[in-house]
Amino acid sequence: MNQRIEKIRQLLNELEAEPQVSGDRGFSAFELPQIIQEIVDDLQPLLTPYDAAFYWFLFRHSIAQEGSPFVRVSTRSLQRAVVRSSYSQAEENTISLGKVQETLRALENIGAIRKEGEPNRHGTQYRVLIPDEISACRTFRAERAASEPPLMFPETRSKEHAMRDLRTRVFERDEYKCRSCGKQLTRFTASLDDAKPVADGGDDGEGNLLTVCVDCSSHKRR
Per-residue confidence (pLDDT) for residue 24, from 0 to 100: 54
Please give the model's pTM, rounded to 2 decimal places. Answer: 0.69
Per-residue confidence (pLDDT) for residue 111, from 0 to 100: 96
- For 157-195, b/e burial (b = at least 16 CB within 10 A) is eeeeeeeeeebeebbbebebbbebeebbbbbebbbbbbe
User: What's the one-letter identity of residue 81?
Assistant: A
In the structure, what pLDDT confidence band is assigned to residue 146 with cuts at 50, 70 and 90? confident
Contact 177, 184 (CB under 8 A): yes
In the structure, what pLDDT confidence band is assigned to residue 51 with cuts at 50, 70 and 90? very high
- When comparing pLDDT for 22 and 183, which is higher? 183
Per-residue confidence (pLDDT) for residue 48, from 0 to 100: 94
Tell the CATH topology of 159-221. Answer: His-Me finger endonuclease fold (3.40.1800)
In the structure, what pLDDT confidence band is assigned to residue 84 with cuts at 50, 70 and 90? low
Domain 27-129 has CATH 1.20.140.10: no
Domain ranges of the chain: 27-129, 159-221
What is the distance between the alpha carbons of residues 131 and 112, in angstroms, rounded to a whole number? 8
Contact 107, 12 (CB under 8 A): no
Per-residue confidence (pLDDT) for residue 23, from 0 to 100: 43
Nearest-10 Cα torsion for 97, 103, 106, 110: -140
User: How large is the angle between the packed helices 49-60 and 97-110, nearest 10 degrees?
Assistant: 80
